[in-house]
Structures are given as C-alpha cells and as structure tokens.
Chain A
Amino acid sequence: MGHAYTPGLRVAAETVVRRERRLPLKGDVCVVAGAAVGPESVIARCVLPGNVQTVNLAAKLGVDPAAVGGTLLKPVGSAVALDETIAEAKAMFGLMRNRVASPADGTLESVSSVTGQLLVRERPIPVEVNAYVRGHVAEVLPGEGAVVESRAALVQGIFGVGGETNGRLAIATSGPGQSLEASHLKPEHRGAVVVGGDHVTHATVLKARELGVRALVVGGFDDRDLRQLLGRDLGVAITGQEELGITLVLTEGFGRIGMAARTWELLNAHAGKVASVSGATQIRAGVLRPEILIPLDERAGAHASEAEGGTLEVGSFVRVIRQPWFGRLGCVVELPAELAALDTEARVRVLVVEFADDRTRATVPRANVERLAG
C-alpha cells in the first residue's frame, strides 16, 4: 500500500498545547512554574524604550557643535519635561539668551559635539504579555516570559485576521452548511466566540462587531469582503496585528465552503465553554495558523502530544483543496506509484478519491488534497 505525506490542519478533541508567551525585550516575569493561569493573567511585563526626538542644538542656539555640551542645563541622563528649558546660550554679544525647550517628556539621551544634535528619549512604554489560554505555567523563561501549557480541544483554521481574544463559545447556525447571517446574531452573543457555517459576508462581520462579538469562526469568506474589512488588498499572508475590533477565523478557505463535519461537531460539543482564539496567520517560515483552543479540565497523567504525522494512505479521509473539485470530501481509494498526466499535461503523483456525497471517483494530484482526520 502506498502512502504519502500531506499537510493537514489539526482538529483534536483533546491535546496538550504549549504556548510561548514572550516579551519583545527583556523584562520581569510575574509567574512561577506550576502556577495556574487564566487567559488574562499577566505573565510578564517590560518597558520599551521611548521614541527618540532630535534637537539641533547647534543651529537653534547659534553655537559651534563642539560647544553644545556646555549649553545643557542638566547633565545627560537627566529627566526632562515637555517644554522645559534644557539648554541656553548667550547671543547678541551677551545681551540676549537663546533657549531651547524639550520637545517631549523623557530623558536627555546624548549630545554630539560633531553634529551638534541632542537626543531626547521619550518616556518608556509599558508592555504586558498575558497567558492567552487557561492552563498552568510549564516553564519560566527568565526575563522573557513563560510557556503556558493547557489540556485543550484544538481547532486550527486555515486563515484568520485579528489578534488574540477569548470568550464563550456560541453556535449560531443550524449546521455546518448554513451561512452565518446577520439575523443569527443576538444580543447574548456580546463577548462571545460565535461559530457559523459555510460563509459569512462583510456586512454580517460588521454587525457582529457592533454587537460586541469577540470572534467569528466560519468555513469561508470572500476575498472581496476581506478587502473591504481590511481597507486594502492583503498581499502577503502575515496577519494577527490588525486592529479590527473582532477576530475572524476561516476553517476552510476563501469562498463558500461548508465547515468540515469534525470541526463543526467538536465546536458544538463545547458550546458554552470559554475558548481562546487567535487570528494570527503566517504561511511562510514556520507556518503559523489561526486557532481555537477550548481548555479542558486539568488532569494528571499521560500527556498527548500536539505534534501529528500526516501520512496519506488508502482509506484516509481528505478534502480536495483546488479546482475542479475544490472543497469536496472523500476517501482515498488508490495511491498509484507511477506519475499520471493531468489535463494540463503535467506529469505528477496522484491519488484516486471516492467522494463521500455521491460515491463518484476522481483522480487528483496528491499536492491538491489535505487530510482531514486528526
């Protein structure tokens, strides 16, 4: 029996996830190993150095760059306030004094005797990193953050926009093949993670945001609507930093595509529980996919691994991910070893799939399927 490797998105009823929560710069870690954490618990905090403002002291005071150091009223490193006089020099044969005010609250960073420039660094910017998902601290990364571990149900999406959030899981449509319409959204969905069916429109996303829905999880979305939502064409799939007021996770792709039954059933089984959601997607370099994590009760004992093999075999359940059978589901019935010619005349490795809905068969390039069973 032949087999092949195919990437598949993870859908797991129970697994152990580990999420690294790191600061952008070194700072203070606020948790200890083993501590229980909620999604909003602060793991670590630091201060980012403030922005730098330049002041051309030599030009403003009319002195030689080599002499600007002597014009400072406070030594380098001192705190200064916005509009506070920080340097002065005599002008007009000593009859007048030219003064320079600080352009910001901050500290005097440095002064150059070559360029006559003074650098004022603005106040530091505080940054906090939260736990994102309920669990416990598995490892402390000294000065940087911690690894949070959680026993959870996991659904990986294929694409998302918007940052990390969390909320109660609410199922809004009657099935995985029904579109999420504005009429499905109710006031009780405020603060929730709402699960829809095969599709959502831009107008419905806006309605959800207006209602205070934190995240939407649906099968598909049109790129035309994504453009409207972002206000631009998305060129490269690096997302997660958008400030949209809502997070959107697509489980299947672009267009109208029914949510895979397994995903739908798993999310339904956990309706009402709190889920952590991230829309962050990065296809290149270290592939990051959006996710929905539903923490389960912590249990001692064996830890299931989050990693998963992706071997494709006869009997594997797959979804076709490219035309002409895009989105259709079926079972692999043959994995021929020899190359086969496509309609394009390209000769590639293929498989034969039997579609679940009508039992018809089709030959598909192996590169164009993804395994669905987790």
Chain B
Amino acid sequence: MIPAPESIRSILATDCGSTTTKAILIERGAEGYRLVTRGEAPTTVEAPFEDVTRGVLNAVREVEELRGRKLLDGDRILTPQSGDDGVDLYLSTSSAGGGLQMMVSGLVLQMTGESAQRAALGAGAIVMDVIALNDGRRAHEKVRRLRQLRPDMILISGGTDGGDVKRVTEMAEIIAAADPRARLGAGYELPVIFAGNQSAAANVTACLGSKTALSVVPNLRPSLEREHLGPARDAIHELFMEHVMAHAPGYKKLMTWSPVPIMPTPGAVGLIIEKVAKRDRLAVVGVDIGGATTDVFSVFRVPGAADDATVFNRTVSANLGMSYSVSNVMAEAGIANILRWVPFAVDEVELRNRIKNKMIRPTTIPQTLEDLVIEQAISREALRLSFEQHKALAVGLKGKQTARDISDVLDQTASGSSLVDLVDLGLLVGSGGVLSHAPRRAQAMLMMIDAFLPEGITELAVDSIFMTPQLGVLSTVHETAATQVFERDCLVFLGPCVAPIGSAKPGAPCVTVEWAPESGAPSRHTVAFGTLLRVPTAGERGKLTATPERGFDLGAGKGKPVARTVRAGVVGLVVDARGRRPFALPEEPAARIARLREWNRALDLYPREV
C-alpha cells in the first residue's frame, strides 16, 4: 500500500539502467525533501546473475554505507521506516535489457501511424518500426519484418471511429500471419494493444484474440481532428508490467518490493518534464544523451490555442549516442559536420579510427584536451540530429484544422507543422555523461546552445547526476517531494541565453542586454554581431532586458525589447550574437578555426587554447 504523502519521511528510489543501477535516498528535513546520498552498482539483469535485484541490493548497500543507516534486512528493503532504520517508500524505474521495444501499426503512415508512434514513444518505448498500409512494403515484407524484430509489444491503430473497418482488419490479418513472438522468450503470449476504429474491434479480436494477449482500448485517433493517446499509453504501462517486466529476470521479486508500479525510465523522465512545464508555465525541452541512445522530451504550447494548452512529445534516437553508437553519429552527420566544431586540424583517417576505437571500447574517457574537444564536437552533432528527429515527429496532426493533446481536446492551427517553437522555449535541460560530467559547466552550456540553437531568451540547466527517472516515478505518488528535489538537488542552472534572430556583417551592433540581479549592481552590455559574451550572474534571480538592433528579433518583433525575470546560473548570462536563421560557421578552415577559438575564449571554455 502506498503511504499517505504527509507521512513519508524517507524515500529510496532506483533506476535499473542497461549498464548501471542507480539508487538515491531522499529524506524530509526542516527545509523539505532533499537528496541525501546516492549509490550505484552494475546492473545484473544479464548472465551470469540474471536477477535484477542483485544490482538493486548492491546499489542500496552503497547508499547504506555512505549514509550510515540500515536500509536492508538481508535481501529485503526495510519498509516502513522505524527509528533511523528503513524507508517509508521504495520505488523503481527500469530500462534494463534494452528497455521496452515496440512495433506500431497504423493505416496511413503519416496519420494513425504517426499517432501510434507518439503514443508508444510517450509511454517510454523504443519504436522499432512503423507498419502501415502505405509504407511501401508488400504484405510478405511486412510479415518478414514483424518476425525478424521480435518486439516486446505491438500497438495497432487505424481508422477513425465509425470509419474504415476493412483495411483495419487487413492490418490485423497481416500481423496474425506473421505469428509474432515475444522477444524475451516463448514463455508468454505477445501483448498486443488495439487502439483503432472501435467498429473493427470484433474483427481484430477474431484475428488475434487466440494468438496474442490482446487488449482493446479506446481509439487513439477517434477522428482526424483529435488524438487521444492517454488510454493507449496507460495500456502500454500496464502490459509492460504484466507481461514484459514480469518475465525479465528478477523483476517479479522487484515488483513485490514497491507499492508503485515499475515504470520504463524514459516514461518517468517525461512525467517530470511535463510537470515542471505545467507548474512554471514554460515551454520545456529535455534531452538525455546516453551511450547508445538520445531521448528528447518537449512540452510546447499549442499554437493558436486560447488557453494554456500544451502538447507533450518524446522521441528516442535509438542509434545516436556517445559510446556504443558514436560511430553512427559520424555515419549520419558526416565527418565534415563533426570537424566544423573542432578548432584545430585533424586528419580524417585518424579521426575515423579514433571514433571506431571509442565504439569498440565504449568505457574509455578523453585524457587530452584535444580528445575532449573532439568528443564534445561529436556530441553537438548527436544532439543536433536527435533534435531534428524530434522536430519531425513533434508536429500538429496531419489532416486539417486540428485538435490534439495527451489529455484531450485542444485547438491547433497548422496541419503537420512542427510544434517546436524555439522562440517560445523557456527552459532547456540536458543530461547524460557528456553534459552532466563536462569538466566546465560552460562546455555543457555551449554544447547545448550550438546543437539546439535556442532563439530569444532561454534558460539552460543540466541534470547533475541523472536522477530524473526516479523523480518522475516519485511524482506519481508524491509530487511535492519530486519537485522539491528536482529543483534543489537535481537541476544545476547554467544561466540564461539571449540569441537574436537575424544576420549582419561581423562587428555590426546586434543587441544590448541589461542584467539587474535581485541583489547586486546592474550591468549593461552591447554585443556585436558574430560574437559571444559571457556575463557572470550573482544571486538567484534577476531581471534580464534585451534590446535587439533593427533587423534583429528576440521574439517580440524586429528591434523590440524583451524583458524577463530569469534564474541566474553557475555559468552566467550568455549572449549569443552569432546569428540565427541562419546560424553559419565560416567555410574557410582558417577563418572557422579563428572564430571558434575566439568564442571559446569568450566563454572561458577550456584551460588553455586548443
């Protein structure tokens, strides 16, 4: 049973990742809930252990030792807290074993196919493939693909309610012909969710009811103008627990330790991003760049909506990462795009070999400054590509004048246009080793600015130790504790970035900024086009007023000033007058290198010139 929020004094939360299981201990003190310590241990879901709870216990044991408190009673987490022993609540997220891998299907790739993809991604899944009637593949090719991939779960959508029944049935017949098997073994039937035209539910059940563990939920696209992803997402979470997790090694035991369902890691991160966006009434983008994959989460206002309606989107770039997938970043971005961020000459054969050596020995770290600069150049491209993919999926409903939201009815203007509006973006949060562990915080800030190219005024932050998954699942039962720890111990605010849209000759006046901290002396800075400026910001908050020159826009119109109260940060205020729409680096190598070095100096990015 979940204890009442007001009675919770301590919380232990774990995240079972593919390689590491991370545990955090939160305690309630005089100033509310705070993170008090953390521990980690290798994940033990694979051979020779094949029991996820071993890794959980090891990570908790480290927390026990560091905090000097008894949390375990043998191989059991002590709950509730008694005296100084035990905790009142234990909960966990998981992405071990490759996370939740799904295939989705729709009738039209760009319509129900895309809606089904958004539902699966939003629930924290990796979408292995989208099958649709118009995907260009013949029936037998679809069947072969379904057989090869062996997903954990399939989501079938298609048809608006009361619409096409025949073609929806046809899709179900194709899936039945494939007789797909679950990835984690033949011991259970493959979970399949039907969230399409409800008039076709009987036919779909006839096709798949005896071959799979079929669940029928309300249509995720009841009409062309509406998307209703909530029931499909809930069903995914439920089946993830019932079928996939229950058959993963050790999870049955782990599930009995917590009164809160185990949640897929990215699904939990999405929850907290949504909650912060709602609370602060900000458009938020979160990015988590890992070794194998990069997740992007966004919450943006619905264009043209009368109220504060927002849309949440999540995408995962399954093969863009900094170790296992680093070579794929090179393959997708191209060597030239990586090298454009490097302020010295690099031999291409040597660079290719370096990147491949990182791929085959993924745990190595840069020892020289030059190596660090190259790694950070690669991360800029991995982040940029992941964001491009996110923008392509975070779009309005393709069709007409539309309404779409995870919760329900909303208005939207453009059909199929991206919901990502960089001028509206209020907060950009980064996490993952290359950002969270950058030796200087300014490096993380510039990596994110270069990759995302925020416009207008945007605050930037990094997740200090990547505990957003645990806080996401905690937010489902104790929102106050989750947001307190998120603000105080999880996020490290880097500072605001001011980036005017427009272009001019290098050296021409671009923007004037005034920074008035809550306590301390105000300052005023005029910044020329083509340059970067860093202004240290003391205190917690301040008023930022930026006045662009004629021809430049900060979101209020050309030449019009913008003012906002923002949080100060450990890096400070960064004025990026390098131009937007377009942002361009000099083509000529010597000029490009000179410019990069100038920007690095402006932000005091590295301990010496590289």
Compute how far the CA of A364 lies from the CA of B364 in the bound complex, rounded to whole angstroms: 11
List the B side residues contacting A236 at CB < 8 Å: 319, 324-325, 327-328
- A253 touching B319 by the CB < 8 A rule? no
Q: Indicate the member of B138, B360, B365, B369 with the most A CB atoms within 10 Å.
A: B360
Query: Contact: B324 with A283, CB < 8 Å?
Result: yes
Chain B stretch 413-452: residues in CB contact (< 8 A) with chain A: 437, 439-440
Q: Any chain A CB within 8 A of the CB of B408?
A: no
Contact A53 B372 (CB under 8 A): no
Which stretch, B303-311, B351-359, B586-594, touches the partner chain A? Answer: B351-359
> Is A82's CB within 8 Å of the partner chain B?
no
Total A-B Cβ pairs within 8 A = 161
Q: A307-B48, A326-B357 are in contact. Are A345 and B371 (CB under 8 A)?
A: no
Which residues in A have their C-beta under 8 angstroms from that of B136? Answer: none
Pick the contact of A367: B166, B170, B349, B365 (CB < 8 A): B365
Least CB distance, A125 to chain B, in whole angstroms: 11
- A344→B353 contact, CB < 8 A: no
- Chain A residues closer than 8 Å to B18, beta-carbon distance: 284-285
Number of interface residues of A (CB under 8 A): 54
B208 to chain A minimum Cβ distance, whole angstroms, is: 13
Chain A residues in 8 Å Cβ range of B349: 222-224
**Residue in B98, B348, B352, B356 with the greatest tally of chain A CB atoms within 10 Å:** B356
Distance, CA A342 to CA B366, complexed state (A): 9
Cβ of A64 to closest chain B Cβ, rounded Å: 12
Contact A343 B367 (CB under 8 A): yes
Q: How far is the CB of B462 from the nearest CB of chain A, in Å?
A: 15
A322 touches B173 (CB 8 A): no
Q: Is the CB of B352 within 8 A of A224?
A: yes
- Is A321 within 8 A of B357, CB to CB? yes
Known contacts A65-B166, A285-B46, A307-B48; is-contact A237 B292 (Cβ 8 Å): no
Specify which chain B residues have a CB less than 8 angstroms from the CB of A223 in the assembled complex: 349, 352-353, 355-356
Check if B360 sits within 8 Å of A235, measured CB to CB: no
Does A344 lie within 8 Å of B356, measured CB to CB?
no
CB <8 Å contact, A119 and B177: yes
Determine whether A76 belongs to the interface, using a CB cutoff of 8 Å to chain B.
no
Q: With A and B bound together, what is the CA distance between A159 and B166 in angstroms?
A: 49
Cβ-based interface call for B368 (8 A): yes
Stretch among B112-120, B139-147, B228-236, B398-406 lining the A interface? B139-147
In this assembly, does A114 line the interface, its C-beta being within 8 Å of a C-beta of chain B? yes
A301 interfacial contact with B, CB 8 Å: no
Residues of B within 8 A of A65 (CB): 166
Q: CB-defined interface of A110-134 with B at 8 Å, one 1/0 digit per residue?
A: 1010110101011000000000000
A346 contacts B319, C-beta separation under 8 Å: no
Q: Which residues of B contact A254 (CB under 8 A)?
A: 352-354, 356-357, 360
Are A322 and B140 in contact, CB atoms less than 8 angstroms apart? Answer: no
Say yes or no: is B163 at the interface (Cβ < 8 Å to chain A): no
B370 to chain A, nearest CB (A): 8
User: Would you call B364 and A321 a contact (CB within 8 A)?
Assistant: yes
Check if A322 sits within 8 Å of B364, measured CB to CB: yes
Give residues in B with beta carbon < 8 Å to A.
18, 46-48, 97-98, 138-140, 143-144, 165-167, 169-170, 173-174, 177-179, 203, 292, 319, 324-325, 327-328, 330-332, 348-350, 352-372, 437, 439-440, 607
Q: Which residue numbers of A lie inside 8 Å of B, CB to CB?
A: 7, 49, 51-54, 65, 109-110, 112, 114-115, 117, 119, 121-122, 158-159, 222-224, 226-227, 232-237, 253-255, 281, 283-286, 307, 321-324, 326, 342-346, 348, 364-365, 367-368, 370
- Beyond contacts A222-B353, A286-B46: 17 other A-B pairs, Cβ-Cβ < 8 A, are A52-B139, A52-B140, A54-B174, A65-B166, A222-B352, A223-B353, A223-B356, A233-B331, A234-B327, A237-B360, A253-B356, A284-B18, A285-B18, A285-B46, A323-B367, A346-B366, A346-B437
Q: Could you pull out 19 A-B pairs where Cβ atoms are within 8 angstroms?
A: A7-B363, A52-B178, A54-B138, A112-B170, A115-B173, A158-B360, A234-B327, A234-B331, A235-B319, A235-B332, A253-B353, A254-B354, A285-B97, A322-B358, A322-B364, A322-B371, A346-B372, A365-B364, A367-B364
